[in-house]
Structure 1
Amino acid sequence: MMRMLPGIVLALPAVCFAASPHCANWPTDMALIHLKNAGIADPARIDESRTKAVELATEKVGKDRYRQIYDITYHEKSGKEIRVITSSEASSEECSMGRVDVYVVSRKIGGP
């Protein structure tokens, strides 16, 4: 039993920290399509290297199914910033488990 203890201790973090999938690319890409279709942004004017997606929340909604909320900031080459909040569902197998709801943030008040 004592010989198995180091193996168990090393494997424990993988079990304890098993979390939802990291699927920032799917909502980031879909939000940009929604922004284009709404006439708010032109993908050709976006500086993709400065695009930032921050996962705000994850909720388990089923067996291996998670609702994920992202705060995504796009930067146009002109310097204009476009910010959205997205809600989408993902699994460990697939990031695109359904539609991506996109909310445009017109102004942030408070906080850093």
Structure 2
Amino acid sequence: MKSLAITAALLLVVPALSLAASPAQCVSWPVNIAQAKLKNEGITDPTKLDESKTRAVRLASQKVGKDLYRDVYDITFYEKSGRTIEVITSSEASSVECSMGSVDVFVVSKKLADN
């Protein structure tokens, strides 16, 4: 009987937990906008990039309104020459639309190593 109560409680909690973060498929929106902004600033050009190596990691997702989330990504672009360009993006998404606002792009110019 106790295990049935635990199972029932989990069935009620798990769907609620799945709504805690914005949809994972929204990663392409900040990646594409960051790439365009890097081109516009003359930092790199899409023709120089090895897109198969692009790495995007969602660092945070926070609910900021009804079905509205702020996502923060760490994105690393790899040029065919071996050069890497790292950016942090902040954007808003919903369960039905990735482009709920502008994408802020911050270029990481230097990482400080632990000593």
Shared fold (TM-score, shorter chain, > 0.5):
yes
TM, length-normalised to structure 2: 0.84
Moved more, 47-56 or 12-21: 12-21
CA distance in 2, matches of 1:9, 1:58: 23
Partner of 1:58: 61
SS in 2 for 1:107: coil
TM superposition shift of 1:109: 1.3
Deviations 1:27-52 (A, max 9, x none): 00000000000000110010000000
TM superposition shift of 1:18: 2.5
Of residues 72, 87, 106, the one that matches 1:103 is 106
CA distance in 2, matches of 1:7, 1:102: 43
Of residues 52, 66, 70, the one that matches 1:67 is 70
Gaps of 5+ in 2: none
SS in 2 for 1:79: coil
**Greater percentage in helix:** 2
TM, length-normalised to structure 1: 0.86
Of residues 26, 41, 51, the one that matches 1:48 is 51
Q: CA RMSD in A?
A: 2.1
TM superposition shift of 1:6: 6.1
Gaps of 5+ in 1: none
Partner of 2:14: 13
Give percent identity, aligned residues only. 56
Q: How many correspondences in the alignment?
A: 110
SS in 2 for 1:24: helix
CA distance in 1, matches of 2:60, 2:9: 30
